[in-house]
Amino acid sequence: MTIFSTRSYLLAALLGASRLAAGQAAPLQYPSTARSDAWMDSVRRLPLPQQVAAVRARLLADTVLRHPQQYACTTLLSAAQRAAYHQAQQPREQAEAARPVGNLLLYVVDGESLATNYPAPTNAFLQKMAAYPVQRMEFLSGPVATAIYGSRGANGVVILLGSPLKRR
């Protein structure tokens, strides 16, 4: 975090940008793991080709598209400037609302996991996923996922099992 963004965050906090009343608890920043479990349960019931398509869509939705939003102090802006600022933020908010609910999942293809959810590793992982014909999918959640994959698997694990294509 840069000094400028730290100062902006502190200034926004001092000016009441959090909009919390005295004694009000802050809302959770991320949805609960239970929602990820519900997504895995619904996908588990689908036929294999639809499971693969659903996992690809979820993987793309979990990809980080931009860095966290910087806080901005809008109290010094005119009403028109504040309206323009909030209008500029709407596409980001709509994109966030379109993402599936739940925490980020851990994806594993034949024992190799997705390292991060940034675009470059995600694209490489999707290419690897396309090169392997998926024969079976496993969904792990709860204590089992945490015991096997540690804290990275605490939100849930999607395991794709298959055999690599034979090249001539």
Q: Mean pLDDT of successive 10-residue segments in the chain (168 residues)?
A: 43 42 40 70 91 86 63 78 83 65 77 76 81 87 90 88 64
> Could you tell me the residue range of the domain that residue 155 belongs to?
3-17+33-162
> What's the pLDDT score for residue 31?
45
Domain count of the fold of the chain: 1
Task: For residue 111, tell me if it sits in a domain.
Answer: yes
Q: For the chain, how big is the Rg over CA atoms in Å?
A: 20
Task: For residue 133, tell me if it sits in a domain.
Answer: yes
Task: For residue 168, tell me if it sits in a domain.
Answer: no
Task: For residue 59, tell me if it sits in a domain.
Answer: yes
- β-strand pairing of 134-140 with 112-113: unpaired
> What's the pLDDT score for residue 130?
80
118, 64 Cβ separation under 8 angstroms: yes
Task: For residue 13, tell me if it sits in a domain.
Answer: yes
List pLDDT tens digits, range 5-48. 444 444 444 444 444 444 434 333 444 555 778 888 889 999 99
CA-nearest of 1, 167, 161 to 70 is: 1
Task: For residue 27, tell me if it sits in a domain.
Answer: no
Residue 142 vs residues 41, 46, 56, 113, 151: alpha-carbon distances, Å:
13, 21, 22, 18, 11
> What's the pLDDT score for residue 125?
83
> What's the pLDDT score for residue 70?
59
With H, G, I as helix, E, B as strand and everything else as coil, classify residue 108: strand
> Residue 168 carries which DSSP code?
-
> What's the pLDDT score for residue 46?
92
> What's the pLDDT score for residue 164?
60
> Residue 118 carries which DSSP code?
S
Task: For residue 107, tell me if it sits in a domain.
Answer: yes
Answering whether pTM is above 0.75, one says: no
> What's the pLDDT score for residue 32?
52
> What's the pLDDT score for residue 56?
85
Task: For residue 77, tell me if it sits in a domain.
Answer: yes
